[in-house]
Homo-oligomer: A and B are copies of this chain.
Amino acid sequence: MSFMKFSKTTEYAFRILSFMAQDETKLYNVDEIFEKLRVPYRYLRKLMTNLTRSGFIVSIQGKNGGYKISRKTEEIRLLEILQAVDPEYLSGKCFFGFDNCALQVPCIMHDQWTIVRTNINNILAGTSLADVKQTKND
């Protein structure tokens, strides 16, 4: 594992949704998304279904079907995506990974780390798909 790196699945979700945010009315199909983003084809198929279940996109089945963003891109925040894709996010509180801390006085990392996490949360909560819609990388 590598610290400060999102899971592949999270990165993929960010890529997919920020790409689809470029035109929030358009119906994208998987092949089109696959062309643009570097996501393994069948895994992408699976993720699209998951993102549909999560409610970020809606799917139209059958011929000429595809996916489109389900809500206004300004309303979908990166934090919401992260939480949906990685439910364990924010589960760990202690820098040292202790389940329950028995220190009388918090260690030197406690507050510093809380601040860092809050900072990151604010960034992710403050950034919407509309803000990153240009991330196509073609």
Contacts and interface: CB of A to CB of B under 8 A. Distances in A.
Interface string A1-19: 1111111101110110010
A119 B127 CA distance: 19
A134 B2 contact: no
Main secondary structure of the interface of A (DSSP, over half): loop
Interface stretch (A47-55, A68-76, A107-115): A107-115
Nearest to A100: B137
Contacts of A18: 96
Interface residues on A, range: 35 or more
Contact of A3 (B38, B82, B95, B136): B82
B135 A86 contact: no
A125 interface: no
B134 A99 contact: no
